[in-house]
Amino acid sequence: MTGAAGTAFAVAVRADSCDQACQVAWAWEAQHRNALPRTTLYDAPHPLRPASLGALIKQERTSAYVVEGRPVRGVRVLYHSRTSAGRDIAASGVVLLPPGVKHPKVVVDAHGSSGIGAACAPSLMRDLYHGNQMTRFLERGYAVVAPDYAGLGTDGRPEFVNKTAEAADIVGALRSARQAVPGLSRDWVLWGHSQGGGAALGFAERQVSRPEPGYLGAVVTSPATDLTALVDHLDATSPYGGFVPLIAQGAAFSDPSIRLRKLLTPAALDRIGTTRTGCLNVALAVYSDLTGERLTRPGYLTDAPFSRYLARNSTGRRYVAGPVLFLQGDADTVVTRQVSDRTAAALCRTGSRIDYRVRPGLEHDTWGGATGIDDGAMPEILAWIGDRFAGGTAGTAHTCGSPAPERQGVSR
């Protein structure tokens, strides 16, 4: 559930030529090569004195990022966010600025799954995790505000796929960015992929009752919406079993009544320590031989606390502030088209402004010989966002059901 081209599922590319031990070693090596030194910015004050959501705690400039061989400059921020229970918490992120633009319009990037360890913050990765896509926005003169999600970069205890916490991280990152970088435009658009797509829809639910100024709409690509269906699918699908322990552990961080021993087999529990320091590709490699009954306990999806967590944090059932461009690849093996079809139809029934587009041949991410939805649909994403900033008609389409792959859907 990540948006990283060239990073996502990189282990799977080597599956035919490398046994599991080799894949694990290669994943660790790749993670270490891409890691940036963790600085004191990520150390939250203790105790953390209460402050408003988005209040800037500290900032630092960095020129350490390198994307497609080119340096990318950024301003890292540590800011006040909120847990799903409303507790004040420190969260990190980064603001990327287009050179030579005085008052850039803003794209907020809700990233796909990177892992749950402190080291798995995209702002601590040399390539920004999916920096190749982020630079497409910089090239258009937009600033990119990229929250890490609270726990990544800081204490390593993120409330994984918790839509309430992630929505607060999005709001806090935007507010803190305006303090760290005066002159950012008031107008902004949200872009979220996979886990970030679910986070973006969670924000859009929040936006209905607690509007954030300047919001012009959201782009979501292969969003993680029906979490129960998603976990069930990942549990049964190799090589994606490693997502399940990440989701279970992150859920337990959020809700202490969730017990991993009721969800995961002893074999899976024996490896859970890896998730504290290993990011997504490491987890996928470590768990690549475990799916189904070897990974999860019988009936784990009916465990009451875990079941409630997944249901509570699923999106697509409530009216969302829009407009929303919803993009799905029909070759996606992580978030399947069938689930996104149902989600789009459900959102349309709420009266939400949804432009649902299915694109043929696109996978979840770019890896091996496959092209991911973000890379394959980037021209559409850029055009739609550009039209929103220009005050054009993008966002007026309202489609329902499952449009034919070669069409954008029928406006009404």
Write out pLDDT tens, residues 171-211: 999 999 999 999 999 999 999 999 999 999 999 999 999 99
Average pLDDT, the chain: 93
CA distance 126 to 363: 25
Over 50: is that where the pLDDT of 405 sits? no
User: Tell me: the pLDDT tens digits for 354-403?
Assistant: 999 999 999 999 988 999 999 999 999 999 999 999 998 877 777 765 55
CA distance 8 to 87: 32
The architecture CATH gives domain 10-34+228-311: Orthogonal Bundle (1.10)
Portion of the chain with pLDDT greater than 70, in percent: 93
Q: Name the band, by pLDDT with cuts 50, 70 and 90, for residue 141.
A: very high
Report phi then psi at 67, rounded to 5: -125, 120
User: Tell me: the pLDDT tens digits for 32-91?
Assistant: 999 999 999 999 999 999 999 999 999 999 999 999 999 999 999 999 999 999 999 999
CA distance 331 to 405: 11
Burial-class residue 40 by CB neighbours within 10 Å (0-12, 13-18, 19+): exposed
User: Tell me: the pLDDT tens digits for 316-339?
Assistant: 999 999 999 999 999 999 999 999
Helix (H, G, I), strand (E, B) or coil at 276: helix
pTM of the model: 0.94
Residue 16 confidence (pLDDT):
56
Residue 395 confidence (pLDDT):
73
Residue 411 confidence (pLDDT):
30
CA distance 242 to 113: 12
* Sheet-wide strand order for 215-221: 56-67, 70-82, 88-96, 143-147, 106-110, 188-193, 215-221, 324-329, 354-359
Positive or negative, the CA dihedral 221, 190, 307, 282 is positive
Q: Kindly list the domain boundaries of the chain, sorted by start residue.
A: 10-34+228-311
CA distance 303 to 313: 16
